[in-house]
A and B are shown apart, each in its own frame.
Chain A
Amino acid sequence: MIARLAEGATRRSLWLLGAVVAVLVIAPFVVNDYLLTVMIVALYLAYTGQAWNIMMGFAGQLSLGNAIYAGLGAYVAAVLFTRYGVAPWLGFLAAIPVAAGCAAIIGFLAFRFGVAGVYFAILTIAFAEFARVGFDHLDFVHASAGLFLPVAQYTHDDLWRLRGNPTMFYYVMLAATAVAFVLSRALLKSRIGYFWLAIREDEQAARATGINTFRYKMYALMISAAVTSFAGVFYAFFYNNLFPEQVFNITQSIEMILGPIIGGVGTLFGPVLGAFVLTGMAESVTSIMAALGFDLPGAKQVFYGICLLLVVVALPEGIWPPLARRLGIDKGKR
């Protein structure tokens, strides 16, 4: 199984991957609480970025509303936990069909009626906004007042109920990111991955090659949504509060896609690398500004904008593809 997963990978890329994993596993023992929180945010964005990458990077469907899937995951798990005492992992199982079902509705409406490209992107924004406004008025989840999870001082980490210290949350997100990475690779190297790439490259030619493009685009959306929904579950239990205004906000959707765009859309390492580079630099900028005595709200967003501009102009493929060539782990294939 492990040999199968590593099939086709170069020795160098496996070494690199091993080194990265080792550093990430050891990190909580060395870094302080603040840095640990930053790394959790980076892993969160690496995870959601990989989920978005399945939809956009592999299948070529641009979603600017992936926050809806995280938000649904967060609310499903949080409601089940606060009202019925259901553990978040079971809540995640319940969130999967909700998020995937929502993606299926969006996909059906778009693909049945030939909505593609930027129009598809607008549709995804619209749905995320519907959700934001809808949940803002849904008394069952306390509407705009927000949904709160009970917080207490924990003497030990309860992994099953996701109650505990940041270190536990760090390892949960690290494991999730690793799972998303392995899943992405397995998908990309399988039949479905080839069909997605064909659709991304030329949908008409893909159809002429016998691919049921409607079906495979639906799969991409539903898988991406299901994966994203876990990020929402994590969000709810890590922050312990949920406001529709925050979780369904378009800035959430945008933050999810910045990592892959900066790291390299359609690549496996890109979303992870991009998330860490972006989060690391954004936090550095914030710290430096604070140290210099500036307090500028929105500085991070401006910084994101600058990063995006630089990458689009200087490295349209993202950071990873040129870096991979330099490291000599790119076989010139994908």
Chain B
Amino acid sequence: MTALLSLTRLSKRFRGLVAVDGVSFAVPEGAIFAVIGPNGAGKTTLFNMIAGAIPPDSGTVSFAGEDITGLAPDVVCRRGIARTFQLVRPFPALSVEDNVIVGALLRRHDVGAARVRAHELLLRFDLFDRRHYPASSLTLPDRKRLEVMRALATEPKLLLLDEVVAGLRPTEVDRLVGVLRELNRDSGLTILLIEHVMRAVMALASRVLVLDHGVAIAEGEPREVVRDPAVVQSYLGQSEINVRVV
């Protein structure tokens, strides 16, 4: 398998704090790759650098064989990387349907065609019945699904999910995990996710990278990684407890 996304010694510092310190990894095409780590490990900073929201201080990001380091977020999205935000930000006053239509219009010029695509996604994510409600009226789990739909509507090759199941109830987690797996299996969509909820990571990821204080401390299969002493140490035993839940 060839790497769809690869990071080479990517670094970012904010004043004195090194948020991401020389992180390198490669996400193979068609994989579901998870980045885990305690709060403040630099996961979101890493995402923001891939998505173009903040430029890295050093290192490179390459996507589909091209260097995309430091490109603007809209350019990155048009190249085929779509993202969700950790703190969800759908377009609040727009209807659920219109939110998805905005995404679908990126690759379509006709609003009717975009609406057809939006309806497919709304049906798949069980939000079709609520399509005329304003996005601001949705519950948090629904807003998270809406963000995933809006990102998917742009037809990405790579989907970046920033803590998309955090705050959901276990049944909701399983439902979203199911949809994401289906998407990965059916359309070969590559997914890179940041996640705290080990239940989702273990169920989804084929490969896991552990970040701690901006440094990659372990990478491998999910089941190996959670047993890695360095990983357990960084979580102060937390991960062991979480893993048992699975």
Residues of chain A having any CB pair with chain B under 8 Å: 189-191, 194-195, 197-198, 201-202, 204-213, 331-334
How far does the Cβ of B70 sit from chain A's closest Cβ, in whole Å? Answer: 15
Please, which residues of chain B bring their CB within 8 A of the CB of A191? 105, 109-111, 114
Chain B contact residues, CB within 8 Å of chain A? 51, 53, 72-74, 77-78, 82-83, 85, 89-95, 98, 101-103, 105-106, 109-111, 114, 132-133, 150-151, 154
Closest B residue to A189 by CB, please name it.
B111
**Which residues of chain B are near A190, meaning CB under 8 Å?**
111
Chain A contacts of B109 at CB under 8 A? 191
From A216, which residue of chain B is reached at the shortest CB distance? B74
Q: Are B77 and A209 in contact (CB under 8 A)?
A: yes
Closest chain A residue, CB of each to CB of B105: A191
- Asked whether, in the complex, the Cβ of B74 is within 8 Å of the Cβ of A201, the reply is no
Contact of A198 among B51, B83, B94, B151 (CB under 8 A): B94
Contact across chains for A334 and B103 when beta carbons are under 8 A apart: no
Sample 13 A-B pairs with CB under 8 A, ordered by A number.
A190-B111, A194-B98, A194-B111, A198-B91, A198-B102, A202-B89, A204-B73, A205-B85, A206-B91, A209-B106, A209-B150, A210-B82, A210-B154
User: Which residues does chain B contribute within 8 Å of A204, judged by CB atoms?
Assistant: 53, 73, 89
Nearest-neighbour CB distance to chain A for B7, whole angstroms, equals 19
**Smallest CB–CB gap between A317 and chain B, Å?**
10
- The answer to whether B105 and A194 have CB atoms under 8 Å apart is yes
B19 to chain A, nearest CB (A): 19
Contact of A209 among B72, B111, B154 (CB under 8 A): B154
Q: How far is the CA of A207 from the CA of B150 in the complex (A)?
A: 12
When the two chains form their complex, are residues B132 and A331 in contact, meaning their CB atoms are under 8 A apart?
A: yes
Residues in A with CB closer than 8 Å to B114 are 191, 194
Cross-interface CB contact of B102 among A189, A194, A212, A334, cutoff 8 Å: A194
Contacts of A331 in B (CB 8 A): 132
Determine whether the beta carbon of A210 is less than 8 Å from that of B72.
Answer: no
Contact flag A210-B85 (CB < 8 Å), given A190-B111, A195-B105, A197-B91: no
Are A197 and B98 neighbours in the complex by a CB distance under 8 Å? yes
Kindly state the separation between the CA atoms of A332 and B53 in the bound complex, as whole angstroms. 34
List residues of chain B with CB within 8 A of the CB of A207: 72-74, 77
CB pair B101–A201 under 8 Å, yes or no, is no
Taking CB atoms, residues of chain B closer than 8 Å to A205 are 85, 89-91
B131's closest neighbor in chain A, by CB?
A: A333
* A106–chain B nearest beta-carbon distance, Å: 22
7 nearest CB pairs, A to B = A210-B77, A201-B91, A210-B106, A205-B89, A207-B73, A207-B74, A198-B102
Cβ of B191 to closest chain A Cβ, rounded Å: 16
Q: For A206, list chain B residues within 8 Å (CB).
A: 91, 102
